[in-house]
Amino acid sequence: MHRADRLFQLVQFLRARRFATGREIALALGVSRRTVYRDIARLRGAGVPIDGEAGVGYRIDRGFELPPLTFNAEEIESLVLGARIVASWGDRELAAAVRSAMTKLEAVLPDPLRRVVLETALFAPGQLSNGAMTRELGVLRRAVGDHRRVRFAYTRADGGGSVRTVRPLALYFWGTKWTLASWCELRRDYRSFRPDRMDDLAVLDEKFDGSDGIHLQAYLERTERRSRERGDWD
């Protein structure tokens, strides 16, 4: 168990009781009494109002509340990894936003969890092709949020090209590439397009609201149905 998790559980254990001995705390957390005494000292040093002493027992001020942002170490690790994925594979605005968010989070975390942020060895390195993949991502992301049609020149994998006007419904990240889920006005059907194959992208003034039955849920249902017909889902 990470120290940060153990400290959190120790505080919760004391908050649920009027009084607890070092032995009771040690049994509950699965640690030695010496570890409990060290943890009590750390919590007191961080300003947690714990009364008592070794050999007698401990209590915590009943009015004490943990800060509203309370994470365990694995939750912090997951946030760090997610932030690093966005920083490597998102557009510039998202990358800047997630770095700012992590800086704010780090500033309010207690020291043990702050060290988890700094020491988490989980990474999401980018590739040289990232620039092309994320070049239009910010524009597409805003078009999805604003429910505005977009037009672009598109080059297929076989080299064929066309101009498409689509309703952007969602963006999907597949580990090394993004795709835009959309309704294609040319094909009159749901289609997916890769941002790195788009050129001359333009956001149109025309908005859509899904009231005609063309929306993300319908796209997902159509995709599931096609997968079942192909036998992808047995």
Q: In this predicted structure, what is the pLDDT of residue 86? A: 94
The answer to whether 58 and 48 have CB atoms below 8 angstroms apart is: no
The answer to whether 113 and 66 have CB atoms below 8 angstroms apart is: no
- Give me the amino acid identity at 210: G
> What's the CA gap between 31 and 6, in Å, rounded?
9
Are 171 and 90 part of one and the same domain?
A: no
Prediction pTM value: 0.71
Q: Which residue range(s) make up the domain with 93?
A: 73-119
Domain containing 151 — which CATH number?
A: 2.30.30
Residue 107 counted as domain residue: yes
How many domains are there within the chain? Answer: 3
Q: In this predicted structure, what is the pLDDT of residue 131? A: 81
> What's the CA gap between 221 and 104, in Å, rounded?
39
Are 113 and 141 part of one and the same domain?
A: no
The DSSP line for 117-156 is: HHH--------TTHHHHHTTHHHHHHHHHHTEEEEEEEE-
Q: In this predicted structure, what is the pLDDT of residue 67? A: 62
Are 135 and 114 part of one and the same domain?
A: no
Domain containing 10 — which CATH number?
A: 1.10.10.10
Are 197 and 218 part of one and the same domain?
A: yes
Are 141 and 53 part of one and the same domain?
A: no
Q: In this predicted structure, what is the pLDDT of residue 228? A: 83
> What's the CA gap between 221 and 234, in Å, rounded?
16
Closest to 61 (Cα-Cα) out of 74, 84, 44, 41: 44
pLDDT by 10s per residue, the chain, length 234: 677 778 888 988 998 888 999 999 999 999 999 999 999 999 998 888 999 988 889 998 777 766 655 688 888 999 999 999 999 999 999 999 999 899 888 877 878 788 889 999 999 988 766 787 888 999 999 999 999 999 999 999 999 999 999 999 999 999 889 999 999 999 999 999 999 999 999 999 989 999 999 999 999 999 898 888 877 644
